[in-house]
Structure 1
Amino acid sequence: MRLFAEKVYQGSYFTRNEEVVLYITASMPNGTTLPQMNALIEKMERYLSEFPEIRQFQTDIPNARRASIRVFFNKESERSGFPYQLKSSVISKALELGGGSWGVYGLQDQGFSNDVSEFAGSYRVKLYGYNYDELATWADTLKNRLLTYRRIKEVLINSNFSWYKDDYREFSFDLNKQRLASEGFLPNELFASLQPIFAKDVWAGSLVIDGEREDIKLASRQSKEYDIWALQYISHNIGNRMYRLNELADISKGQAPQEVAKENQQYRLALQFDYIGASTQGRRVLDREVEALNEILPMGYTAENEENVWGWGKKDNKQYWLIGLLIVIIFFTTAVLFNSVKQPLAVIFIIPVSFIGVFLTFYWFKLNFDQGGFASFILLSGITVNASIYIMNDYNLIRRKRPGLSPLKAYIKAWNSKIIPIFLTVVSTMLGFIPFMVGTSKEAFWFPLAAGTIGGLAMSIVGIFIFLPLMMVKKEKRFKIMDVQSINHNKKRQTKKYKLKKERR
């Protein structure tokens, strides 16, 4: 179970049975313009236009730094080897073009990417609020709390989630409030003293020249000469008092959102980070911190844990209650049939034994556990109990007809009469799922369903052969032996009474 949870379940995702599509992505660094990105994509489009096997391709350029192309194929070439040949050719063309980072994905095999960007993080949180500055303060609060964990090295704050880290950086200006108060400076006085030195495009008035109005704008000469070091260490004055900016504020360059995003009339910020360790532990840490932050957030501000849409989130875990409901229904049904509470437990015990076969199948063969894997659990819960019900029902009939027969012998008779049809039923069911596993496509849902069902049925045979007789015979052995002894005692008493009557006659 531990191997299944760590090696299979954590990496599982829902698959979709869609048409064959080849995905091509392009990214360029900060400062790129839309015409530059469009020129790069046009070169790839001209190359794709040379192939008549391509039905169409769709290009999307959401901004100057990102673009994507989706390639669709004709029905004749969709199931042939052409998509794989095209993928290899596109990779070679991307390396030839250069000009940016390229990625080629699809066709259910290994993708290509020459992007050297780091992964942004798989743990995501969204923060909403009606004041952007205050929302940014709460985002920094959550960031600092997360960074207290040694397994979290970096937390990114953006307006939207992304797969990779952005190289966009901004200078942040953080005031030292305690030092300002001790020096007797106000923030507005500090900014007013810096504005004339670094100001640009300051409107100073207008003139009418040749009947047209011309604006007069001023720019500080130092704004072109001074750099960040000069801003921090050259002395400035507020009134008659001199100061250096590094004594009153900190200027640092770091990652920052590139835009102000809104959702449902609320400002939105997105936090991402990676956790070094087990994903379940990282999810617990994130849930705990988000819950603690929501308790102190003011009205109108919320923090939400963003689940990965391709994984098994908390909402998806609700479906596992169906297995519990099915087991409850089986328990009450068999309890009425056997007129017993203990015997249904032996029937239900075979269900988790068959689940072991599902776990081992997905772990040994490294299969993806998607909707088909979950459906195999539901299917096995109903199929595997049938064999146990047949044997136990026949066992109870033999005990009622022949009460003097020992439990072991009664179980062996029931076993001998039912095991051949049970075995043939299980084998025929396993063979019926083999067509879903033939071929190289490994279709979504059906392939995991067939693999899980076959593995579970194979393990259920072990449960019927070993665990069912142990649970049935061992528990009732003592009680049934006492019944046989009482019957033999009654026979002896009847024999003695018959002899006494005969002697008197």
Structure 2
Amino acid sequence: EFYLSVDRRRLAGYGLSVEELLRFVTSNVQGQVGINRIKIGGEEVVYSVKLEGYREFDFADLRELLVPTATGESVRLSDVASVGRREVLNRIVREDQQYQRLVGWEFRGPRKLGDRIRDVAVDATALPAGYTIEKERDIFWTDEEQRQIYTVLILAVILIYLVTAALFESLRAPFVVLLTVPLALIGVFLVFFYTGASFTRSAYIGVIMMAGIVVNNAILVVYHINEIRRSGTELKEAIIQGTLERVRPILMTMLTTVLGLLPLILFSETMDATIWNALALATIGGLIASTIFVLTSIPVLYYLFEGHSRSRATSAAPIPAGTPAGD
């Protein structure tokens, strides 16, 4: 900004006041000497009077501006004031009686690498006496981004429930399928814990993609168990047979996906080298964990859900001997 520092003693020697000087300088800089209102045709119109040539006025010529005095003489502005230019902040922030200056930065890449680069830049910064610098991590997500990701997750769960409920024609079976998602998250957390990778936005995308795959595996098991039960097989035998017959397709699905994602990790210098590493790690960890839990925990949960409902139905209305168990 440009500033004007008035020498009051010299200005008083010419019989001028600070107000008169500032009014004259302002009229030359802005070209405006007054704002008035006038009625034309019954309507009030705002008009302003400006000095001729104000558009061509240059701040470099401000020092040579001749200011009229009360005696009719003129005095050069540089004789009664100093004109300069200085850098200022667009706003002033204070906290605990201390001035603050916020410096923003953006790094498009892995979070840990960005933090290391920021730390090196901050540590290499030389500050004058009386100044301190504090490092503050930026917000991982904005409020809008958080709302979007939570909305997507909720919609994904609702759609999975509706589809599986329509497929199984049951309101209980979809809960067995949905329980594979939190079980798969165990593998996601473990793989990030042991590799030391950063859980970035790409990792959330990988979790959503992984959830769709593990739910498909659970649907294969539950649907096949239901098919076997419809043929008249007892509940426990149907669960064992249906699970064993779906081991191979589930393992093939898991292995093909994991092997396809491994090159994203194996050919990277570090676990945070690219944005794809987090996506691959989240998917691989979730698939490996879900494969184990789908083949072990899901049959147990299915037995608990269906066994409990069957026992209640039996107590309400005993099934005649020889009648096969149904859904």
**Are 1:315 and 2:148 matched, yes or no?**
no
* Paired letter, 1:433: L
5 Å matches for 1:362-377? 362-377=192-207
- CA gap 1:202/1:390 in 2 versus in 1, 3 angstroms: same
1:486 matched to 2:319? The reply is yes
Give the TM-score normalised by structure 2. Answer: 0.56
Q: Does the aligned pair in 2 maintain the 1:351–1:381 contact within 8 Å?
A: yes
**Higher normalized strand content (fraction of residues):** 1
Which of 185, 192, 211 is the equivalent residue of 1:355? 185
> Structure 1, residues 261-284: CA drift from partner, whole Å, max 9, x if none?
2xxxxxx443568xxxxxxxxxxx
Pair 1:384–1:336, CA change in 2 (3 A): same
| Matching of residue 203 in structure 1 with residue 11 in structure 2 | yes
Q: Does 1:384 pair with 2:200?
A: no
Q: State the match for 2:282 in structure 1.
A: 452
2:187–2:289 Cα contact (<8 Å) kept: yes
Residue 412 of structure 1 and its aligned partner are, at CA, apart by 0.6
Partner in structure 2 of residue 461 of structure 1:
291
Change (3 A) 1:217 1:348: closer
Of 259, 262, 275 in structure 2, the residue corresponding to residue 431 of structure 1 is 259
Q: Which residue of 2 aligns with 1:410?
A: 238
1:79-128 CA-to-partner distances (Å, cap 9, x unmatched) read xxxxxxxxxxxxxxxxxxxxxxxxxxxxxxxxxxxxxxxxxxxxxxxxxx
Matches within 5 A, 1:130-279: 202-206=10-14, 259=88, 261=90, 268-270=91-93
Q: Secondary structure at the match of 1:457?
A: helix
Offset from partner CA, 1:396-451 (integer Å, 9 cap, x none):
1111111xx32111011101111111112112211111010122164432110001
Distance 1:479 1:316, change over 3 A: closer
1:327 alignment partner, one of 157, 162, 173 = 157
- Contact 1:358-1:453 within 8 A present in 2 as well: yes
Change (3 A) 1:310 1:486: closer
In structure 2, runs of 5+ residues without a counterpart are 1-6, 16-68, 82-86, 97-135
Aligned-partner residue type, residue 488 of structure 1: A
Matches of 1:354 and 1:384 in 2, distance apart? 8
Alignment of 1:290-305 (within 5 A): none
CA distance in 2, matches of 1:216, 1:321: 67
- List alignment gaps of at least 5 residues for structure 1: 1-198, 219-257, 262-267, 274-306, 492-505
Indicate if the aligned counterparts of 1:334 and 1:344 stay in contact, CA closer than 8 A: yes
**Closer, same or farther in 2 for the Cα pair 1:216/1:339, shift >3 Å?**
closer
- Where 2:93 maps in the other structure, the secondary structure is strand
- Is residue 167 of structure 2 the alignment partner of residue 337 of structure 1? yes
Report the alpha carbon displacement of residue 487 of structure 1 after superposing the two structures with TM: 3.8
Cα distance in 2 for partners of 1:356, 1:475 equals: 23
Structure-2 change in CA distance of 1:391 and 1:398 (3 Å) = same
Shift of 1:356: 2.3
Give the equivalent residue in structure 2 for 1:161: none
Q: Which runs of 4+ in 1 moved over 6 A?
A: 214-218
Deviation per residue, 1:334-355 (Å, 9 max, x gap): 0010000000000001011112
* Residues 346 and 468, structure 1, Cα contact 8 Å, conserved in 2: yes
Deviations 1:290-330 (A, max 9, x none): xxxxxxxxxxxxxxxxx976622222212222111111101
Distance (whole Å) between structure 2 residues aligned to residue 399 and residue 489 of structure 1: 14
In 1, distance between residues paired with 2:280 and 2:183?
A: 18
Q: What's 1:45 paired with? A: none
Q: Which residue of 1 aligns with 2:120?
A: none
Percentage of identical aligned residues? 25
| Cα contact 1:372–1:444 (8 A) shared by 2 | no
Distance in 1 between residues matched to 2:205 and 2:323, nearest whole Å: 55
